[in-house]
Amino acid sequence: MSGVVAAIVSARGVPFLSREFDGCDLVLAGSYGLEIIYPDIEATIDGRAAAARRSLDRAFTRLSDRLDDCAGTILEHHGYTLCVHYHLVSTGCRPRIKELIADVGKDFPDLAVRNLPTSYEIVPPGDWTKADSLSTIALNYKLNDSDRTLTIFAGDSPADEPAFEWANARAGVSIKVGASDNTSAQYCVSTPSDLIEVLECLWRMRGPVA
């Protein structure tokens, strides 16, 4: 749609997003926006992320070597963050994963560890969220006039809460996909299919195309 900037903001890395959305005219913000590529302007990489890349690579190598005995573990390198998923790991083996993650946190003081419900994230230091990536995108496209710009953000996880709040603060629209408990989103839909229906409604309401 003319006059619309569409962005995917994800915990996944830019290489993954580039494969998933190949050929789409989208802004792709990977690793929560530490790396952002645009269809029409120069890419941005957060300075903290760039400085931490060597330590992330070393931590990934170490974990790759030591997690082999924990069947079901999924280790992902997203470029500027690492993620260790343990939802498929037996309960008895999970303390071993916790121990290995603690060792990484101790031996790589320039990295930070986030403990999520079924995974650990190893990230560059600093307090940054998906809201920071939205701020960067808005700045680069000069979209900071909330009287002339309508922000619509949809997400389905606790990591999306700062982005909901960012959209709300700009008098925008925030949509939670899934359970509506404990969210700052203004609206909720049950499934991704419901969200697609909302977007299709907006498309139909767009008015005549010049």
Domains of the chain from N-terminus onward: 7-46+128-204 (3.40.50.1000), 52-123 (3.30.70.1020)
List 123's β-bridge partners, or say none: 112
Tell me the per-residue pLDDT of 70-80, one tens digit each, with 9 for 90 and over: 899 999 999 99
- Residue 167 CA to residue 153 CA, distance in Å, equals 7
Mean pLDDT of 28-53: 93
- Residue 140 above 60 pLDDT? yes
Threshold 0.75, pTM exceeds: yes
27, exposed or middle or buried, with CB in 10 Å at 0-12, 13-18, 19+?
A: buried
Tokens of 93: 């083996």
Find out whether 111 and 122 touch, Cβ atoms under 8 Å.
Answer: yes
What mean pLDDT value characterizes the chain? 92
Residues 6+ apart with CB under 8 A from 31: 11, 12, 13, 14, 49, 78, 79, 80, 81, 123
- Is residue 21 classed as helix, strand or coil in its secondary structure? coil
Tell me the per-residue pLDDT of 157-197, one tens digit each, with 9 for 90 and over: 988 999 999 999 999 999 999 988 889 999 999 999 999 99
For residue 209, name the pLDDT band (cuts at 50, 70, 90).
Answer: low
Question: Which residue, 116, 113, 115, 124, is CA-closest to 33?
Answer: 124
- Residue 34 CA to residue 9 CA, distance in Å, equals 10
pLDDT at 208: 65
For residue 3, name the pLDDT band (cuts at 50, 70, 90).
Answer: confident
